[in-house]
Structure 1
Amino acid sequence: MLPCAKNCGNKASMKRPKTGEAVCQNCFYAAFEDEVHNTIVKNNLFKPGDFVAVAASGGKDSTVLAYIMKLLNERHNYGLKLVLLSVDEGITGYRDDSLETVKRNEVQYNIPLKICSYKELYGWTMDEIVREVGRKNNCTFCGVFRRQALDRGAMLLEVDKIVTGHNADDVAETILMNLLRGDVARLQRCTNITTGAEGALPRCKPFKYTYEKEIVMYAYFKKLDYFSTECIYSPNAYRGHVRTLIKDLERIKPSSIVDIIHSGEALSIREGVKMPTQGVCKRCKYISSQDLCKACVLLEGLNKGLPKLGVGKSSKVKEQLAIINGESNGDNTRKRGCCGSGGECQSNNSPEAETMKCCSSSTKQSKRQSKKSQAKARLAAEKTAPPPDLSEVYNERDADEEFDFFGCGGGTDLLQSLNMDDEDDVRNTADPGDIENLGQLAGRLLHKRNNAP
């Protein structure tokens, strides 16, 4: 067995995922705690006398955070007053069990606990929301509501700051998510160790540079009481795909996580780029860059029987809200009940929800007709056009899913999708999984089909 890299005389019992050092448990504890302390001090996260709410879910991150905050507060005399703040989303079989863990932590760490619930704040539980919206977009609702619920609970407690258990993996995932979405505003903010400083309640991330694996190892070796079951609705979350990518990168190069964080910190926005201005929601007075905050828009949809109202681009949401509320939106020709396409809606005298459904279905139908017309025109042009440049075929992705080669799976599936039987072409490709070869094959088969008698 290797000796501890810290030259303490003990045998190494583990290898740190972050640095690759072989260390004993005691040296790991010391290094882990010192790194969190240095992060707090270097970034001036607290000042003596602060009343701090620890966001506690019962999971590994928040449990270790509560333990570390109490430990460092006593060891280094931060002078903080701590309180545990939990949110009950109303997820049967998940949150009710995790809250039992938080209640045990309250006794174990001697820190008072405050629990806020979605039902009290919004009139809905997540189980009820999922029954309305399905499992595709439920994380949008939970993320928005949970963030606001934490702030509302903290305001009731009159705390100075909130600390969350977001670790280095979480920050790296958020950077990539905002990068893939092209969300410049959030991409600029998400790397900050303290967010919301311009508002009433700043949020701090003491674990910003702490790896998730090391948090798990610390909780395991310290035998901390935490809840490890994943949320039953989270497997469908968009973040899950980015998390898989991050784990693959970490497996290849462990420093990938902190490298992504440093890259996000180094990004800057060019002067002259218009950024959303932060204001307050006209309805609930919560911080928002729109007239209505996201939570109010989502609640509006739920309460009016249109659960997917707030899911999508803000411009479309504004348009739909104007129709629901009977506003002209500056266009005198576009009245309630009008589909906006020159024709009158079939349900002019119907309730608002029915009017919205009619307008929405009419718009979708016109878009489908437009796509079909474009596809037919494209096929007609291809029949009379010369053979395509096969070297560029794989770069062109058809707008209509009906003719999308990249959705066919490749190989024999590609032939079946084109209703042809030319397996020789498949065998002649150097690699059936190679996109360029499949693109060339698709081009040849499409040309052959279009010119067939």
Structure 2
Amino acid sequence: MAPVPCAICKTSRALIIRPKNHQKLCKECFITIFEEEIHHTVTTTKLFSPGDRIAIGASGGKDSTVLASVLKTLNERYNYGLELVLLSIDEGIKGYRDDSLETVKRNAVQYDMPLKIVGYDELYGWTMDQVVEAIGKKGNCTYCGVFRRQALDRGAKMLGIRHVVTGHNADDVAETILMNLLRGDLPRLARSTSIVTGDEMSEVRRSKPLKYAYEKEIVLYAHHKKLDYFSTECLYSPEAFRGSARTLIKNLERVRPSAILDVVRSGEDMAKLVPEAVTGISHCKSQKVSLSSADGEEGAAGCGTNGRSSGGEMADMEKKLQEDEEASSREIDVTAAASNGVNGQRHDRIGSKTEPQNGAKRESGKKLTRQTLGTCKKCGYMSSQDICKACMLLEGLNKNRPKMEIEVDVEDEESSTLRRRMERLALAAG
């Protein structure tokens, strides 16, 4: 069979089928389109200002490695005027984080960026290995999520930086939306769908430049750019509630490739229903962009999607990419196909959303309490309560009475509320 030409340049051979819309592209066009979509997200949402110092939350995984590479490229190409620094958190997980930190150290040299590593043991006196030893694997992601969120902010303050970017992608955002829908927590959903949390007055702002990038396309970009990253899944994560949402998202993607962005857009629309006075988020600033619908065939399955957890699926995808690349070197090329037989569809573009109606009224009449940001009386970290969640969890650990029923505002927690609802339903059914 004659090779198919790239749908964009029409000259080079197509090597990639985009998971987002099944568009057939050559390697160079795919890399360019991927970078340009990130650039469009950055400029449309006005994430950065010239002269900003930005801390990149670097774990050594594919998402943060791609984020660091793309931001460095775009910063030089479009003269953003940013000073980029890598900020890594050492949770203290032997056989996982210690190995991934070696990758981050290599990235710091490769990208010529300063690196700051902050450890749980340094901040809290506990490593995650010690926490799991004390409480077991059930619910440990609650502790790690709270500690990690606070550690990133504290690390940024140590560096004198007020803006942290993380590698959360479209798959991550879609999973979080489903988790919060299952919890029935619209205020938290509104905060999690925002591409930026915090504002100019916040001590530390957070943003997600990869919010509209598919996880599979991130893997493809890392593979074809030959980036150095760590691909092992966390040893303690399979018990997390997020894993169930991830499996559902992957199954939806098999049936409809645009399902991930559809869920993200739906979450953004639902977030507009939550009054700004409750969430403290300005919708008009944080929800400016979305992606147009994918043009791919709805019935075609995404590559490598089999309902397993993210770590195993992405590892299989990376292995297949390597095998395909080795096979291509043994391939005998033939005459290029005629260009009039190719459908030259355009790639997705990031478009503007209509301005939401701030302060929308809720029909249910349920009164939502506004969170007032203050500081923790114990550690001085910003908190909406007198004692921050990290200090409350640490108090339970130090007293050997882990407080597992504390409601924690963190994306990676296993919802105790949902678990209790399911237990009651099971009792009623029995």
| TM bucket normalised to smaller | 0.7 to 0.9
| Alpha-carbon distance between aligned partners in 2 of 1:399 and 1:111, rounded to the nearest angstrom | 52
Aligned residues of 2:9 and 2:29 also touching (Cα < 8 A): no
Give 1:287's match in structure 2, choosing from 382, 385, 396. Answer: 382
How far off its partner does 1:403 sit?
7.6
Distance in 1 of aligned mates of 2:425 and 2:52: 57
The question of whether the paired residues in 2 share the 8 Å contact of 1:398 and 1:404 is answered with: no
- Cα distance, 1:286 vs. partner? 2.1
Instruction: Report the Cα offset of residue 404 of structure 1.
Output: 4.0
Q: Any idea what the Cα deviations from partners look like across 1:373-403, whole Å, max 9, x if unmatched? A: xxxxxxxxxxxxxxxxxxxxxxxx9959678
Contact kept, 8 Å, 1:282 with 1:292, in 2: the verdict is: yes
1:30 correspondence with 2:124: no
Task: Summarize the alignment of residues 389-400 of structure 1 with structure 2, pairs less than 5 Å apart.
Answer: none
**Equivalent of 1:250, from 237, 249, 253?**
253
Q: CA deviation at 1:20?
A: 1.2
Tell me what 1:278 maps to: 372
Letter in 1 for 2:228: D
Supply the RMSD in Å over aligned alpha carbons. Answer: 1.7
Quote the residue 1:201 is aligned against: 204
Q: Which sections of structure 2, spanning at least 5 residues, go unmatched?
A: 275-360, 409-421
**Equivalent in the alignment of 1:159:** 161
Corresponding residue number in structure 2 for 1:296? 391
Point out the more displaced range, 198-207 or 125-134. Answer: 198-207
Q: CA deviation at 1:290?
A: 2.1
Instruction: Tell me how far apart the structure 1 counterparts of residues 423 and 98 of structure 2 sit (CA, whole Å).
Output: 47
Residue 277 of structure 1, CA deviation: 1.4
- Aligned residues between the structures: 322
Q: Rate the CA distance shift 1:403–1:177 in 2: closer, same or farther, 3 A.
A: closer
The alpha-carbon deviation at position 184 of structure 1 amounts to 2.1
TM-score (norm 2): 0.72
Cα deviation, 1:114-133, whole Å, max 9, x if unaligned, reads 00000000000000000111
Alignment pair present for 1:239 and 2:333:
no
The verdict on how the C-alpha distance between 1:403 and 1:155 changes in structure 2, with shifts beyond 3 A counting, is closer
**Counterpart position of 2:218:** 215
Q: Which has the higher contact order (CA 8 A, sep 6+)?
A: 2
Aligned residue in 1 for 2:329? none
Give the match for residue 48 of structure 2: 46
**Structure 1: segments with no counterpart, 5+ residues:** 315-396, 406-453
1:45-444 alignment to 2 at 5 Å? 45-197=47-199, 199-267=202-270, 268-269=273-274, 270-271=361-362, 273-280=367-374, 281-307=376-402, 309-313=403-407, 404-405=429-430
Question: Matched residues in 1 for 2:11 and 2:425: separation?
Answer: 67
The Cα of 1:19 is off from its aligned counterpart by 1.8
Give the letter aligned to residue 278 of structure 1.
T
**Structure 2 equivalent of residue 435 of structure 1:** none
Equivalent position SS for 2:70: helix
The 2-side partners of 1:402 and 1:48 are apart by 58
Identify, as 1 or 2, the structure richer in helix.
Answer: 1
Residues in 1 aligned to 2:395 and 2:185: alpha-carbon distance in whole angstroms: 24
Return closer, same or farther for 1:399/1:295 CA change in 2, 3 Å cut-off: closer
TM-score after normalising by structure 1: 0.69
Q: Which residue of 2 aligns with 1:370?
A: none
Tell me the distance in 2 between the aligned counterparts of 1:118 and 1:399. 36
Identity percentage of aligned residues: 60
How far did 1:46 drift? 0.2
Q: Which has the larger Rg?
A: 1
